[in-house]
Amino acid sequence: MAKSTTRRKSTRKRSWAQRVKSVLFQPLPLCLAAAVATVWLCWPTFREQLPSLEVRPEYAVGVEQISITPPPRWVPEDLVERVFQRAEFGDTLSLQDPRLSEKVALAFHTYPWIERLVKVTKSYPARVSVEVVYREPVAMVKLVSGGYLPVDRHGVLLPTSDFNRADIDRYPHVTNVTSIPIRRGEPWGDPAVAGAAELAGVLTMSDGEQASWWKALGLKAIIAPSGVNTEVAELQYRLETSGGSQIVWGRAPSTDYPAELTVAQKLERMAEYHRSYNGFDDAPAPFLIDVRGWQGTTRSLLAEERGTSARQ
């Protein structure tokens, strides 16, 4: 009985194998298998012979195919072309490049005029839209050598070649700086410059209807504290007026020093003094005007302070 069962199982196995062979080893299945094997083996060669979509003109992305956030007047009009040249993109990129957005984003993000990259969007027909936030110049830092370098409100060095002599006189000057910046598009590296740039940003801010505090009060320069002090909270700034008087402002606007007046309080005291004395320079000699005290604004002849400093 056991032998009979074994023979039946063996017969079923042989019959199943024969059925498989009868199906597979037919002309059509064998031809299909051969075709698949041929394509698989030859595909690398075929792929090299196929035309690349990346070089087709409808996928080419050049300077003309890139649109950016409308730049303000102080940003060069040929910004996209400059970014292309700096990134060494050549004449065109390809919309088919899977890293296209990444390449464009990096090129714009690292350009000195770009403060922040918002997003990069690509579309067909070949088009790339770049949304950015631009840096805005707020001051010119006067060097010991006599030259001027532009900075934004964060103290980041901007491209000097994009400014002319008229631009130098258009912005507040930061004086008494002895340090040298590292490179364009990066912070100056001196906390005294960073604080002065922040102060310049506050004083030159305008709401569109009212002139900035800088223009309204007739200010000329921001005098940075001498030397590089590691204790940023201790850095004290002065403002120089067009007539030579000096206003003791105090610490940078972002300070959290507990005894420091707020920016609004200092501005109000400056405006009140300006109204009461018909400006800061309506006197035979320049004054030293201190708006930091809790008891109110004080003033003294600037010559007296200089004489005291010299005797010390």
**pTM metric for this prediction:** 0.78
| Distance (Å, whole) CA 10 – CA 145 | 102
Displacement of CA 4 from its chain's centroid (Å) = 87
pLDDT tens across the length of the chain (312 residues): 444 555 554 555 556 556 655 655 566 665 666 566 565 555 455 455 444 544 566 788 999 999 999 999 999 999 999 999 999 998 889 988 899 999 999 999 999 999 999 999 999 888 999 999 999 999 999 998 889 999 999 999 999 999 998 999 999 999 999 999 989 999 999 999 999 999 999 999 876 545 789 999 999 999 999 865 556 778 999 999 999 999 999 999 999 888 899 999 999 999 999 999 999 988 788 999 999 999 999 999 987 665 555 444
Amino acid at 103: K
Query: Which long-range CB contacts under 8 A does 189-193 form with residues at least 24 apart?
Result: 190/155, 190/228, 191/228, 191/229, 191/230, 191/232, 191/235, 192/224, 192/225, 192/227, 192/228, 192/229, 192/235, 193/141, 193/151, 193/155, 193/224
Picking from 187, 184, 167, 162, the residue whose alpha carbon sits closest to that of residue 79 is: 162
Q: Are 151 and 188 in contact (CB under 8 A)?
A: yes
Nearest-10 Cα torsion for 47, 48, 54, 55: -140
pLDDT at position 41: 59
| 8-state DSSP, 298 | E
Domains of the chain and CATH, by start:
56-134 (3.10.20), 137-311 (no CATH)
